[in-house]
Protein backbone atom coordinates (compact mmCIF):
# COMPACT_ATOMS: atom_id res chain seq x y z
CA UNK A 1 0.00 0.00 0.00
CA UNK A 2 1.46 3.33 -1.07
CA UNK A 3 0.95 6.49 0.91
CA UNK A 4 -0.24 9.36 -1.32
CA UNK A 5 2.22 12.22 -1.72
CA UNK A 6 -0.43 14.67 -0.51
CA UNK A 7 -0.19 13.19 2.97
CA UNK A 8 3.55 13.86 3.03
CA UNK A 9 2.97 17.43 1.93
CA UNK A 10 0.19 18.05 4.46
CA UNK A 11 2.28 16.64 7.31
CA UNK A 12 5.27 18.67 6.17
CA UNK A 13 3.24 21.88 5.99
CA UNK A 14 1.72 21.22 9.42
CA UNK A 15 5.14 20.68 11.03
CA UNK A 16 6.60 23.71 9.26
CA UNK A 17 3.79 25.96 10.50
CA UNK A 18 4.25 24.69 14.06
CA UNK A 19 7.99 25.37 13.83
CA UNK A 20 7.50 28.84 12.35
CA UNK A 21 4.99 29.68 15.07
CA UNK A 22 7.49 28.53 17.68
CA UNK A 23 10.23 30.72 16.24
CA UNK A 24 8.00 33.77 15.98
CA UNK A 25 6.17 33.56 19.31
CA UNK A 26 8.48 31.94 21.85
CA UNK A 27 11.13 33.81 23.78
CA UNK A 28 13.17 30.93 25.19
CA UNK A 29 16.26 30.24 23.09
CA UNK A 30 15.95 26.44 23.48
CA UNK A 31 12.39 26.51 22.13
CA UNK A 32 13.53 28.63 19.19
CA UNK A 33 16.31 26.15 18.36
CA UNK A 34 13.93 23.19 18.62
CA UNK A 35 11.45 25.00 16.38
CA UNK A 36 14.16 25.49 13.74
CA UNK A 37 14.92 21.77 13.95
CA UNK A 38 11.22 21.03 13.49
CA UNK A 39 11.14 23.20 10.38
CA UNK A 40 14.18 21.40 8.97
CA UNK A 41 12.50 18.04 9.59
CA UNK A 42 9.42 19.30 7.76
CA UNK A 43 11.62 20.03 4.76
CA UNK A 44 13.09 16.53 5.03
CA UNK A 45 9.64 14.95 4.98
CA UNK A 46 8.79 17.05 1.94
CA UNK A 47 11.95 15.90 0.15
CA UNK A 48 11.31 12.23 0.92
CA UNK A 49 7.71 12.43 -0.23
CA UNK A 50 8.61 14.08 -3.52
CA UNK A 51 11.49 11.67 -4.00
CA UNK A 52 9.09 8.75 -3.69
CA UNK A 53 6.68 10.44 -6.10
CA UNK A 54 9.34 10.78 -8.79
CA UNK A 55 10.90 7.39 -7.94
CA UNK A 56 14.47 8.59 -7.62
CA UNK A 57 16.92 8.93 -4.75
CA UNK A 58 17.98 12.54 -5.22
CA UNK A 59 15.59 13.86 -2.57
CA UNK A 60 16.68 11.24 -0.08
CA UNK A 61 20.31 12.13 -0.75
CA UNK A 62 19.52 15.76 0.06
CA UNK A 63 17.86 14.58 3.27
CA UNK A 64 21.13 12.98 4.36
CA UNK A 65 22.93 16.27 3.77
CA UNK A 66 20.33 18.31 5.63
CA UNK A 67 20.45 15.87 8.54
CA UNK A 68 24.21 16.39 8.84
CA UNK A 69 23.71 20.15 8.71
CA UNK A 70 21.01 19.87 11.39
CA UNK A 71 23.35 17.87 13.63
CA UNK A 72 26.10 20.45 13.22
CA UNK A 73 23.62 23.28 13.81
CA UNK A 74 22.39 21.63 16.99
CA UNK A 75 25.92 21.19 18.32
CA UNK A 76 26.98 24.75 17.52
CA UNK A 77 23.65 26.17 18.67
CA UNK A 78 23.82 24.42 22.03
CA UNK A 79 27.42 25.63 22.50
CA UNK A 80 26.30 29.21 21.81
CA UNK A 81 23.35 28.81 24.19
CA UNK A 82 25.68 27.55 26.92
CA UNK A 83 28.03 30.50 26.40
CA UNK A 84 25.16 33.00 26.41
CA UNK A 85 23.71 31.51 29.57
CA UNK A 86 27.10 31.60 31.27
CA UNK A 87 27.48 35.31 30.46
CA UNK A 88 23.90 36.59 30.80
CA UNK A 89 22.31 34.08 33.24
CA UNK A 90 19.18 33.99 31.08
CA UNK A 91 17.91 32.36 27.89
CA UNK A 92 15.21 34.89 27.06
CA UNK A 93 15.71 36.14 23.50
CA UNK A 94 14.33 39.60 24.34
CA UNK A 95 17.22 40.34 26.66
CA UNK A 96 19.97 39.68 24.09
CA UNK A 97 20.41 43.16 22.66
CA UNK A 98 24.06 42.77 21.71
CA UNK A 99 26.61 40.00 21.38
CA UNK A 100 29.15 41.76 23.58
CA UNK A 101 29.66 40.37 27.08
Average pLDDT of the residues of the chain: 89
Provide DSSP, 16-66. HHHHHHHHHH--BHHHHHHHHHHHHHHHHHHHHHHHHHHT-SHHHHHHHHH
Note whether residue 100 is domain-resident: no
pTM across the whole model: 0.83
Note whether residue 24 is domain-resident: yes
The number of distinct structural domains making up the chain is: 1
Confidence (pLDDT) at 85: 85
Confidence (pLDDT) at 80: 85
Confidence (pLDDT) at 100: 62
Confidence (pLDDT) at 101: 55
List the domain range (segments joined by +) for residue 48. 5-89
27-63: pLDDT as tens digits:
888 899 899 999 999 999 999 999 999 989 998 999 9
Amino acid sequence: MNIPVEWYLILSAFLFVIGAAGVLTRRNLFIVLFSIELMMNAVNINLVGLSRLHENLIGQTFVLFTMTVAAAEAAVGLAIVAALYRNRKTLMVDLFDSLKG
